[in-house]
Amino acid sequence: MPVTTLGGTWTALRYAPKDGGAEMELEFQPNKSVNAKKIGLIQNNARVDNNASTDQKQLDSLTNPVYQGNAPVIAKGERTTGTSHIDRSLSENNPVYGAPSPSSGNIKDTKAGTYTPGYRTDRGNKLQNYQLGHQYKDLFHKRHTQSAKLYDAPNGTIGDGGMHFEVTAVGLEGKDKGRFFGAVKWGYSTAGGNVTLDNFEVASLGTPSQEFTDAGAKWNTAHASRANKQGQQELVENLKMPTTNHRTTLQPDELDDLGAVGRKIDDLDAKIAGHELTGIDLENAKWELQALRTQRQTLLAQQQNDH
């Protein structure tokens, strides 16, 4: 069943147990509060294997003398908070799920490409498990809209434990670059070979969780590990992803509560007027305020129609 955040609607097009884990095809359809020429989905992963956090193991390896100078171990350890990490393979330095690294070294230049997810039998040797979205008006005021997507499926097995994901939609290019449009949660637990899916639900109506933000901050100072021309693994800087310390506090069950929406509008108005926020935190708060005002107008119109 679709769920809604301030920036749009999220749908689990596929969500089922698969190969000892779970497969997910996730779609984010931006609404008219969004003004971005590129929207990417970034996924955070908290992994437990044999009832132990693999993130903590990777973090501990950084200080193990045995692994000093080992590029793959360093790259893994640098990326994790000890609890979770941005979900990309070790050789990739672009945080957008499934996306290759742009030649410019800037996340805004991530290529759109053609969405050919792993489950499609007609894709040949073309594999692209992501689709960039967009929502904007051109110079002639024509609206252009496309959903953002990702497809994720197990690429190995784990012992008793599971993987628990948070996915956010963020503007990569355009007026709303660096703005977060909401986040959702999904994942699975395993025990004795049985897979139990997590509920697919809203994690945040706007900016992602503090854990996600912490993982993003780690990502921004970390590296990928790639083979050089001599076949040796070396460290490559990660592309910087947007992060914000502004937290969206309106809860999912309050989105249709006119009073709760109004109180949050007043709260954000006061913070902005009081110069409590700066930089990207301020820009995310302003975007959230605009989206909340739109939501209030929608609720008022519904209220009038009901009468």
**Neighbour tally for 297: CB within 10 Å:** 10
pLDDT of residue 135: 98
Same domain membership, residue 153 and residue 291: no
List strand residue ranges (DSSP E) for the chain, in order.
Answer: 3-5, 8-18, 21-30, 36-49, 52-53, 85-86, 130-131, 133-137, 143-146, 148-152, 161-173, 180-191, 194-197, 201-204, 223-227, 233-237
For 281-285, what is the mean pLDDT? 99
Q: Please, which pLDDT band fits residue 117 given cuts at 50, 70 and 90?
A: very high
Which token pair is 263? 């109180």
pLDDT of residue 156: 78
**What are the backbone angles phi and psi of residue 67, rounded to the nearest 5°?**
-100, 10
* Start-to-end Cα distance in the chain: 29
pLDDT of residue 119: 87
**Neighbour tally for 176: CB within 10 Å:** 25
For 202-226, what is the mean pLDDT? 98
Residue that is last in its domain, among 243, 259, 283: 243
Q: Are 259 and 228 in contact (CB under 8 A)?
A: no
pLDDT of residue 67: 85
Same domain membership, residue 293 and residue 231: no
Same domain membership, residue 82 and residue 200: yes
Tell me which H or E stretch contains 59. Answer: helix 54-61
Which token pair is 80? 């994790």
Same domain membership, residue 289 and residue 157: no
Q: Average pLDDT of the chain?
A: 95
Task: Render 144-158 in DSSP notation, one character per residue.
Answer: EEE-EEEEE--SS--
Distance CA 77, CA 306 (A): 55
Q: Are 285 and 247 in contact (CB under 8 A)?
A: no
pLDDT of residue 123: 77
Same domain membership, residue 81 and residue 20: yes
Which residues form the domain of 101?
A: 3-243
H helices of 6-123, in order, are 54-61, 71-79
Residue with more model confidence, 18 or 102: 18
Same domain membership, residue 201 and residue 99: yes
Same domain membership, residue 276 and residue 161: no
Task: Pick the closest to residue 31 from 206, 252, 286 (CA basis).
Answer: 206
Same domain membership, residue 300 and residue 180: no
* Residues whose CB falls within 8 Å of the CB of residue 19, separated by 6 or more in sequence, listed in order: 153, 154, 157
Same domain membership, residue 282 and residue 235: no
Same domain membership, residue 15 and residue 75: yes
Pairing mode of beta strands 180-191, 133-137: unpaired
Q: Are 290 and 263 in contact (CB under 8 A)?
A: no
Q: What is the pTM of this model?
A: 0.96
Report the C-alpha dihedral over residues 227, 233, 235, 239, rounded to 10 degrees: 30
**What are the backbone angles phi and psi of residue 174, rounded to the nearest 5°?**
110, -175
Which token pair is 56? 């903590």
Pairing mode of beta strands 180-191, 201-204: antiparallel
Residue that is last in its domain, among 202, 218, 243: 243
Same domain membership, residue 27 and residue 169: yes
**Neighbour tally for 90: CB within 10 Å:** 16
Same domain membership, residue 273 and residue 218: no
* Residues whose CB falls within 8 Å of the CB of residue 204, separated by 6 or more in sequence, listed in order: 5, 168, 180, 182, 183, 248
Distance CA 258, CA 262 (A): 6
Q: Is the pLDDT of residue 103 over 80?
A: no
Task: Render 68-87 in DSSP notation, one character per residue.
Answer: TT-HHHHHHHHH--SS-EE-
Residue that is last in its domain, among 201, 219, 243: 243
pLDDT of residue 159: 81
Pairing mode of beta strands 161-173, 36-49: antiparallel
Domains in the chain: how many in total? 2
pLDDT digits (tens, 9 = 90+) for 129-181: 999 999 999 999 999 999 999 999 998 778 899 999 999 999 999 999 999 99
